[in-house]
Amino acid sequence: MGAHALDPAAIEKIYQAKGRPPTSPLIVHVDSIEMARGLVREWPERAERLARAFWPGPLTLVLPKQPHVPDRLTAGLETVGVRMPDNRIALALIQRAGVPVAAPSANRFAELSPTTAQHVRDALGDKIAMVLDGGPTTVGIESTVLSLSGAEAVLLRPGMIGKEQIEEVIGPIQVTAAADDRAHPSPGMHARHYSPKTPLILVAPGSPPPAGRGTRLKMPNEPSEYAAVLYERLHQADSEGWDWIAVERPPDDPAWTAIRDRLERAAAR
């Protein structure tokens, strides 16, 4: 879901359509490093290195914002998250609009993220003016979010660009798991997020199924394939009227960090 990132009235429409709390900022999508630099007060050398390495792609950089960036966009914080999407239609839209675009996932807040245009229509209906259908998503889960607003680089939300890949470019980074009622420096930091309406249960590999009428999802064994289909599989199971959906806990391995994060938040009650 997109809106002019520098127009407070347009930004407000996103919050209203999603039912999004004011503590959750929006990420701004840009079509170039130059557009990103126009939104921030500082563009450190490590930001340049990361942008050159991973943009366009699923990496959001959080930096001190320029005064003209609306507080409503940033949950009142003095930082803003920026990224360049790796999608030709999204980039063409930003280029044609000529403005940065605030764009969270097109769903009701804390519910399953969409990966197809139909997911968007089902979740938001007449709350949006149109759907620009570019086909199913490829990465599947939300971007990695990294804060560069302080002396230490801090991973705020894991994604498919992993901690180790980032550290290969800029050296050691810190990790935060903060989740409270205050404004968050990144989306996706609430304890419960990405959740189907049907209760999601995480089970140990090979364990017997829970009692009752439910479905146990069989998922791919490779992290990128798993991430690409996770929300699609949960959407499908959520539409089938089960009492529960069970998913095996992924391996305790760095390659699975982002997937474990999404599953644990989706299963929180």
Q: What is the mean predicted confidence (pLDDT) over 61-70? A: 98
What CA–CA distance (Å, rounded) separates 104 from 122? 17
User: How confident is residue 182, by pLDDT bands cut at 50, 70 and 90?
Assistant: low
Lowest mean pLDDT among 22-26, 145-149, 239-243: 22-26
User: How confident is residue 5, by pLDDT bands cut at 50, 70 and 90?
Assistant: very high
pLDDT of residue 134: 86
Is the model more confident about 214 or about 186? 214
**DSSP-derived secondary structure letter, 206:** T
What CA–CA distance (Å, rounded) separates 3 from 204? 42
pLDDT tens-digit map of 166-180: 999 999 999 986 555
Determine whether domain 3-105+142-175 maps to CATH 3.10.20.30.
Answer: no
Residue 209 has pLDDT above 90, yes or no: no
Ramachandran region, residue 110 (left: φ > 0; alpha: ψ -120 to 50; beta: rest)? left
Is the model more confident about 17 or about 191? 17
Is the model more confident about 238 or about 129? 238
> Closest by alpha carbon to 144, among 78, 250, 235, 53?
53
The pair of three-digit structure tokens given for residue 144, joined into one six-digit string: 């990695």
pLDDT of residue 145: 96
> Closest by alpha carbon to 24, among 76, 67, 63?
76
**According to the per-residue pLDDT averaged within each range, which of 51-55, 104-108, 204-208, 263-267 is highest?**
51-55
User: How confident is residue 191, by pLDDT bands cut at 50, 70 and 90?
Assistant: low
Domain ranges within the chain, ordered by starting residue: 3-105+142-175, 200-267
pLDDT of residue 110: 78
Helix (H, G, I), strand (E, B), or coil: what is residue 216? Answer: strand
User: How confident is residue 86, by pLDDT bands cut at 50, 70 and 90?
Assistant: very high
pLDDT of residue 212: 86
pLDDT cut 90: percent of the chain above it: 76
> Closest by alpha carbon to 192, among 244, 124, 264, 140?
264
Owner of token pair 């800029």: 170
pLDDT of residue 187: 64
Is the model more confident about 149 or about 189? 149
Residue type for position 251: P
pLDDT tens-digit map of 113-168: 898 999 999 988 888 888 999 888 888 999 999 999 999 999 999 999 999 999 99
**Residues 58 and 83: beta-carbon distance below 8 Å:** yes
Handedness of CA 13, 19, 24, 28 (dihedral sign): negative
User: How confident is residue 241, by pLDDT bands cut at 50, 70 and 90?
Assistant: very high
